[in-house]
Chain A
Amino acid sequence: MNINRRGFFKVMGAAGATAMTPAAGARAWESAAPPDAFGCLVDLTRCIGCRKCEEACNRVNGLPAPEISFDDPTVLDTRRRPHEKSYTVVNRYFPGTLDTHDQLVPTFVKLQCMHCQDPACASACIVGALTKKENGSVYYDVGKCIGCRYCMVACPFEIPAYEYHDPVTPRVMKCTFCFERISKENGLPGCAQICPVEAITFGRRDTVMALAKQRLKDNPGKYVNHIYGEKEVGGTSWIYISSEPFEDLGFPSLPDRPTPKLAETIQHGLFSYLWSPILLFGVLGGIMRRNEKKNVHGKDKEARHDA
């Protein structure tokens, strides 16, 4: 194999031209959160654990009937996670507060996809099957999915579930934020619409955020001073307020930094316009050419001096 001069410069010229295409190069990482996203405020002080939201979610999304009826309160005796047959679950916690009869006061926590402002799953997805939509939902397009489950690795809330028992066409299963319903005028997610105590408030994320702050301000001492999801992993579309500390209610403590930031910064820094591979190709090509020439002129000093 020999590397001839013309061939080398032809290839490098073409590669160089590709790299020079008008470009700002690697820019600082910026959030791609939609400006006008919807959100939901969950007020845990209001939730009574009736599980109507679970039932409504099951119905509007056409999910399979549950093994135990939605009316059966014993379900709350075990902690559950959302799974491939239910996008949302309500868990009961006893963080330690007592009522006037010295009974532990329960706090109920509804879990579902948080619909992050800068979702790690969407950044990770190899084919872009998961995307953050303008209306705020993190949308899953099964038509693109190959089933690599990198979204599940990436999700800091451990939300996406998988149809592990489907051998050929398994899907990633998670809350859709009722994408179709909220895309319509005055549409509400199934859970927010049914909630009998208005524990779930649906609206523009800015609006529900302001509402959360208002409630904290209007009721001094009632809530802990923390809106979960305001800053966590760069912010989520679903936000929570509570009278109990979130770490006692199973919420993970997460950094404010958007999860995809580090990996995306490294990727784009190294591979924008493929500058580093092209540079490396050029350098290696140069070295190879020089060594070929040396060989031709018979000046090759072999690796004999080693060892």
Chain B
Amino acid sequence: MTHNPRPVNKKFWTPGVYVMLAFMAAGAVAVIARFTGGIGYVSNLSTARPWGLWVGVDVATGVALAAGGFTTAALAHIFGRHAYEPVTRPALLTAVLGYTFVVLGLMVDIGRSWAIWKPMFNWNPNSVLFEVAMCVMFYLNVLYIEFLPIVAEQFKNSVRLPGTLALLNRPLEFLLQFADRLLDKFMWIFIIAGVVLSCMHQSSLGSLMLIAPTKIHPLWYTPILPLLFLTSAFSVGYPMVVFETTLATTSMGLADEMEILTPLIRITIFTLGTYMALKLGDMMVRGTWVYLLDGTYQTNAFLIEIILGVIVPWCMLLSLRVRQSRSLLFTACSLIVGGVALNRINVFIVAYSPPVSHSNYFPAPGEFLVTAGLIATLMFIYRFVVTFLPVLSGSREVSV
């Protein structure tokens, strides 16, 4: 299969881009407020509810939804299914951006953003968060290294800086060529490392909440929480690829890539099925199904998560008609993406109820603005990068 990614040759300033800019501006205002008035000035976080929207969405959901990066890399590069290479680049870009924004989100959330480097020198091997942080740090570097060849591909043999900067043309050209050749030799190390690091921190994100047995609702608190997080990350990888490929190809008028997505999503039947079996089995073994019909908002959030986010889309994917229909496949995959996102939000926010102070939490407008601003910036950069770098398969671009 010829796989020929190209920069998308389309107009950049569309109405959608202006909408993103508006959200970015609003988010910027909230971030400025955060760094002048403090976290308490823009958020509803408290002693009893120290983690909220920023950790639940920007960090936990962000990491989960970036799982397309390592799952496609594993499939195409490690398991040798080269037919799927066209989706590895957009998935890699999503992962690069996703993880970059996880770190940016953390910078807003942690009280001493300037001290974010300290875990590198103050190790606490007992801390799940320490392991997650180390993995995310290394993985972010691995992702940038994996992305470098795409930059090199576009600019090598064509470094033409204007004016006095032209002096840098030769050295830059040399650097790109050198990096490209060197990386080609060692890239396998980074590709495998990326998958290993992902497995480690995707699962450990689930272990994070095991330290709070009295605060997490029993429907979610289980010793296999790390396994559930890992299998759900495996499950959400390809649906996320379908989700974003469909959105990107629609909004930029490219070929729909169904001939790759249809076979790709078959793997998800197995991974999502495993996740579903583990989740339902865990509920049966621990007897937590007794809570299911008690009507609290926590239980209802669990029901939505498991029925709409797991069972319904899994059943949909069993049908070949769904896998071959662009709109039905997009619907099923959106449900899976939404289901995993809701799972992260549930574990970190909804399931969390402090038994001593019974403190309630709903995110403040400032928290929503920061999160929306970060997501808009991510989308803006994605759009920018695919416009100028060879990420999307442009060979079968259709005219509109």
Complex Cα spacing A78 to B124, Å: 39
Interface readout for A44-68 with B: 1 if CB under 8 Å, 0 if not?
0000000000000000000000000
Across-interface contacts of A288 in B (CB, < 8 A): 77-78, 80, 188, 191-192
A162 within 8 Å of B (CB atoms): yes
- The interface size bin for chain B is 35 or more
Complex Cα spacing A263 to B36, Å: 36
Q: Which of A11, A124, A149, A170 contacts B211 (CB 8 A)?
A: A124
Do A260 and B126 have beta carbons less than 8 Å apart?
Answer: yes
Across-interface contacts of A268 in B (CB, < 8 A): 125
* B311-345 interface with A by 8 A CB criterion: 320, 323-324
* B25-39 interface with A by 8 A CB criterion: 34-39
B146 nearest in chain A by CB position: A1
Do A153 and B211 have beta carbons less than 8 Å apart?
Answer: yes
Interface readout for B104-116 with A: 1 if CB under 8 Å, 0 if not?
0000011111111
Do B1 and A302 have beta carbons less than 8 Å apart?
Answer: yes
* Given known A-B contacts A146-B110, A147-B110, A153-B212, A165 and B41 have beta carbons under 8 A apart: yes
Q: Which of B119, B195, B352 contacts A127 (CB 8 A)?
A: B119
Q: Which of B35, B116, B196, B354 contacts A167 (CB 8 A)?
A: B35
A267 within 8 Å of B (CB atoms): yes
Binding stretch for chain B, among A190-198, A236-244, A277-285:
A277-285
A271 within 8 Å of B (CB atoms): yes
Binding stretch for chain A, among B44-52, B165-173, B389-397:
B44-52
Complex Cα spacing A303 to B304, Å: 35
A104 within 8 Å of B (CB atoms): no
Across-interface contacts of A160 in B (CB, < 8 A): 47
Complex Cα spacing A288 to B208, Å: 32
B183 nearest in chain A by CB position: A1
A297 within 8 Å of B (CB atoms): no
Across-interface contacts of B215 in A (CB, < 8 A): 153, 156
Complex Cα spacing A266 to B131, Å: 12
Do A124 and B128 have beta carbons less than 8 Å apart?
Answer: yes
Q: Which of A7, A167, A307 contacts B262 (CB 8 A)?
A: A307
Do B192 and A123 have beta carbons less than 8 Å apart?
Answer: no
Please give the distance in Å from B229's CB to the nearest CB on chain A.
12
* Given known A-B contacts A164-B40, A167-B35, A294-B80, A145 and B112 have beta carbons under 8 A apart: yes
Do A292 and B51 have beta carbons less than 8 Å apart?
Answer: no
A152 nearest in chain B by CB position: B50
Across-interface contacts of B80 in A (CB, < 8 A): 288, 291-292, 294-295, 300
A215 within 8 Å of B (CB atoms): no
Across-interface contacts of A145 in B (CB, < 8 A): 111-112, 115
A252 within 8 Å of B (CB atoms): yes
Across-interface contacts of A147 in B (CB, < 8 A): 110-113, 115
Do A170 and B39 have beta carbons less than 8 Å apart?
Answer: yes
* B171-206 interface with A by 8 A CB criterion: 183-189, 191-193, 195-197, 199-200, 204
* Given known A-B contacts A126-B119, A281-B196, A150 and B82 have beta carbons under 8 A apart: no
A262 within 8 Å of B (CB atoms): yes
A8 nearest in chain B by CB position: B188
Complex Cα spacing A148 to B80, Å: 40
Complex Cα spacing A230 to B43, Å: 37
Q: Which of B38, B83, B212 contacts A302 (CB 8 A)?
A: B83
* A108-165 interface with B by 8 A CB criterion: 120, 122-129, 144-150, 152-154, 156-158, 160-165
Across-interface contacts of A255 in B (CB, < 8 A): 213-214
Complex Cα spacing A264 to B131, Å: 12
Across-interface contacts of B214 in A (CB, < 8 A): 156, 252, 254-255
Counting chain A CB atoms within 10 Å of each CB, the highest count among B45, B50, B209 belongs to B50
Do B112 and A83 have beta carbons less than 8 Å apart?
Answer: no
Across-interface contacts of B262 in A (CB, < 8 A): 306-307
B81 within 8 Å of A (CB atoms): yes
B293 within 8 Å of A (CB atoms): no
A218 within 8 Å of B (CB atoms): no
A250 within 8 Å of B (CB atoms): yes
Do B47 and A81 have beta carbons less than 8 Å apart?
Answer: yes
Please give the distance in Å from B254's CB to the nearest CB on chain A.
21
3 smallest CB-CB distances across A and B, nearest first, come from A147-B111, A164-B40, A291-B80
A→B interface (CB under 8 Å): 1-3, 7-8, 11, 81, 83, 120, 122-129, 144-150, 152-154, 156-158, 160-170, 250, 252, 254-255, 259-260, 262-264, 266-268, 271, 277, 280-281, 284-285, 287-288, 291-292, 294-295, 300, 302-304, 306-307
Q: Please, could you name 26 A-B residue pairs with CB atoms under 8 Å apart, sorted by A?
A: A1-B188, A1-B191, A120-B211, A123-B211, A124-B129, A128-B124, A129-B122, A145-B115, A146-B115, A158-B356, A162-B50, A165-B38, A167-B34, A167-B35, A170-B111, A263-B207, A263-B211, A267-B125, A271-B200, A284-B196, A288-B77, A291-B78, A291-B80, A295-B82, A300-B82, A307-B323
